[in-house]
Amino acid sequence: MRRRAPQPHPVAVITLAVTLLVSGSVLVFASFAQDRAATEARRGPDGPTVGWGRPIPGSPPAATASRAPLPAPSTPAGVTPGAAPGADQRPGARPDADPGPEPGGRCRTGAKLVPTCGVLWGVAPGAFTEKRGAPALAEFERKTGRHQDIYHAYHRGRGRVFPTPEEIRIAREPGRERILFLNWKPAGATWAEIAAGDRATDAYLDRLAAHIRKNFPEPFFFTVHHEAEDNVNERAGSGWTARDFAAMYRHVVQRLRAGGASNIVSVVVHMAYVPHTTQEWFDDMYPGDDVVDWIGWDTYAYSDPGYGHGDFTELMNRRASSKPDWPGFYDWAVERHPDKPLMVAEWGVWYSPKNPRHKAEFYRNVGRQITEFPRIKALVGFDTPHNQKGMDSRVDSTPDALEAYRRLGDLPVFQVEHGSGTPGVFP
């Protein structure tokens, strides 16, 4: 007769099941908490709206930018010691950073056009072509499938005032209102002469201020002589030294504000070219906190291996082996100007027939890597079929590039409302 194995008591079975269930729940909860903590660590200071609604197919993992320390700034950083619990403590984040989206998760522009969360999205369309202005903008928005927050245009000399009638229409287009970013390059006088009160330039600035005061009270981005590094001449008496630039910039902004153009949001725009940014005179170009609202820089990616080839982290913090002490422009700006929002005032990817897939791959990386640069509050593309050297930065150089760019512009981080909540309505 086969002996029957003893059976466990029903109460013991129930006790064991409950124990296993509780243990499993603890493990699941611990795993969930660990995953959530990792997710929070990857998120930017702007909260949920910075995260992606969906990943971009085919995107490689985000690269980590190399962070090199900077020498101590000449002015106090102004960071409040003893940040409140929960404050963002990563490099580039401030204890007094923008609080994030308002109820409903919406990002909006606030004082000085700084978004409460997210990143403003813009373009200078049709550059170096005959098709500029409204037609170029309409075509760009049609092919990219979205409205541009910022419209970037360029002016030169002492003739026509701005915003022009066309630019005002672009800014106020019903239901598609935009922020203007107007770039003025002086002509007819040196920087030193303008700073000293050149009569012709002052007369133009007074006329410009009166025009702005009367015809365009909305806040708009304004810069003076972008990429001025290319014109610096440190020879004594040249009128074009770095300090001459700073004095000229101060004079222009102060003259316009004194004339009633108090709505200009001043952006100093550098040329992020390592041989320039590592010059001894580079820091002398800064006009001063009282006349600068944003820090901007122009930078482009290259599709072929060599200088400027890489992903978005390389573009934001470009370095050179010959200048090992230069940390990259983003890290430099965060260190030197801890209280200023940052703008990429021009950016793009130069197309190469040797590496036609690079542009699309680059755009796929931007969405993932933008969270590594929480101080960037605006990205403004520069779209041209050919620059002075015949190089192509168009977002539709290839069908794959256009599709990747369209997906990039759809990400939640780039959805920002203007002013009081209705797009384009300014306070």
Distance CA 167, CA 180 (A): 8
The catalytic position among 218, 227, 229, 361 is 227
> Which residues are paired to 138 by β-bridges?
none
Any long-range contacts for 286-291 (C-beta under 8 Å, 24+ apart)?
286/246, 286/336, 287/245, 287/246, 287/247, 287/249, 287/250, 287/253, 288/246, 288/250, 289/339, 289/340, 291/249, 291/250, 291/253, 291/254, 291/266
Distance CA 25, CA 264 (A): 57
> Which residues are paired to 122 by β-bridges?
150, 380
Question: For residue 205, what is the DSSP state?
Answer: H
- Among residues 221, 288, 284, the alpha carbon closest in space to that of 251 is found at 288
Please say if 227 is a catalytic residue. Answer: yes
Distance CA 232, CA 247 (A): 13
- List the structure tokens of 11: 């109460």
Find the angle CA(244)-CA(249)-CA(250) to the nearest 5 degrees: 100
Please say if 167 is a catalytic residue. Answer: no
Place of tokens 């050149």: 198
Distance CA 162, CA 51 (A): 37
Residue type, 6: P
Q: Are residues 173 and 137 in contact, defined by beta-carbon separation less than 8 angstroms?
A: no
Question: For residue 102, what is the DSSP state?
Answer: B
> Which residues are paired to 379 by β-bridges?
121, 344
- 3-state secondary structure at position 310: coil
The catalytic position among 346, 361, 372, 417 is 346
* Type and span of the H or E element at 344: strand 342-350
- List the structure tokens of 379: 């990205």
Distance CA 72, CA 335 (A): 8
Known catalytic residues are 227, 346
